[in-house]
Amino acid sequence: SAVISQKPSRDICQRGTSLTIQCQVDSQVTMMFWYRQQPGQSLTLIATANQGSEATYESGFVIDKFPISRPNLTFSTLTVSNMSPEDSSIYLCSVVLGQGGAFFGQGTRLTVV
Amino acid sequence: TQLLEQSPQFLSIQEGENLTVYCNSSSVFSSLQWYRQEPGEGPVLLVTVVTGGEVKKLKRLTFQFGDARKDSSLHITAAQPGDTGLYLCAGAWNYGQNFVFGPGTRLSVLP
C-alpha cells in the first residue's frame, strides 16, 4: 500500500485567484494522477504527472488552467488557476502500485466564492 | 457516455439486509477495482480482480468479475450502518495505468 498526504485538506478561495495543492507519497512512484470529484459525482481524471516530463492532460483539461509540477518521485503539485465557482470540487491525487489498484490522498475540498 | 455504468445509483436499506451492486461496461478490462468513499475522505481500495470469473471475499463483501472481464458485482451480506458510503468501481486497461471510474452507488444502511 501507499500513504498519500495532501495539503491543504480544504480551502475557500476568492474567484480569480489560484490555489496550489500538494501531494506527498511515502514511496517512489513513476506516475501520479490528479482527479477531480464534483459534488455528488464520481472521479474524473485531470492529468497524469510523470517525473521529468510534462504532465499528460485528459480531454477538457489544459495546462494553463491546471499546471502540474513533478519535481521528484514522491511529490507533485496541482495548481487551480484563475478560479471560478465552477472549480469548486474535491481534488484528489493518486498512485497505482502494480496490480494493487489505486491509492488516494484524503482529497482537497475547494470552494470558490 | 460513461465507459462504466453502475446500478443502482442510490440504495437505502435496513441493517441486516443483503444487497448487490453492479458495474457494467462494453469494454474489456485487464483489472477492475472496487472502492468505498466516505464523506471528507478519498476512495479506499476494497479489492482488485484480474481474472475472468474470479470471486473474492472480504468478510461480508463478495466481489465477482465477469467471465468476459466487462462487468463485476459487489454483494454485501447482512449490511451494517458502517457499510454506508459511496461505492465506486474502476477499470484499467493496462497495469500501472490510470483507471476509469464508474458513477458510483451511494449506499445508506439504516440502523
pLDDT digits (tens, 9 = 90+) for B3-21: 899 999 999 999 999 999 9
Q: How far is CA A74 from CA A24, B6, B19, in A?
A: 6, 33, 39
Distance of CA A64 to the CA centre of its chain: 15
Mean pLDDT over all residues of chain A? 93
Interface test with B, best of A24, A28, A42 (most B CBs within 10 A): A42
Interchain proximity B101–A31, CB inside 8 Å: no
**Residue B50 touches chain A, beta carbons under 8 Å:** yes
How far apart are the C-alpha atoms of A71 and A44, rounded to whole Å? 24
Confidence class for position B94, pLDDT limits 50, 70, 90: confident
Task: Kindly report the nearest CA distance between residue B44 and chain A, in angstroms.
Answer: 7
Locate cell 491525487: which residue? A93
Interface test with A, best of B95, B98, B108 (most A CBs within 10 A): B98
How far apart are the C-alpha atoms of A78 and A93, rounded to whole Å? 9
Q: How far is CA B6 from CA A22, A50, B36, B88, in A?
A: 31, 31, 14, 8
Question: Quick one: A69 exposed, middle or buried, by C-beta within 10 A (0-12, 13-18, 19+)?
Answer: middle
**Residue A46 touches chain B, beta carbons under 8 Å:** no
pLDDT digits (tens, 9 = 90+) for B44-88: 999 999 999 999 999 999 999 999 999 999 999 999 999 999 999
Interchain proximity A109–B40, CB inside 8 Å: yes
Judge contact between B6 and B103, C-beta under 8 A: yes
Judge contact between A79 and A61, C-beta under 8 A: no
**Residue A100 touches chain B, beta carbons under 8 Å:** yes
The closest of A34, A40, A38, A13 to A22, measured between CA atoms, is A34
Residue B2 in this model has a pLDDT that exceeds 70: no
**Residue A13 touches chain B, beta carbons under 8 Å:** no
Q: Give residue B96's pLDDT.
A: 60
Locate cell 480544504: which residue? A10
Interchain proximity A48–B102, CB inside 8 Å: no
How far apart are the C-alpha atoms of A47 and A54, rounded to whole Å? 10
pLDDT digits (tens, 9 = 90+) for A63-84: 999 999 999 999 999 999 999 9
Interchain proximity A106–B41, CB inside 8 Å: yes
**Residue A45 touches chain B, beta carbons under 8 Å:** yes
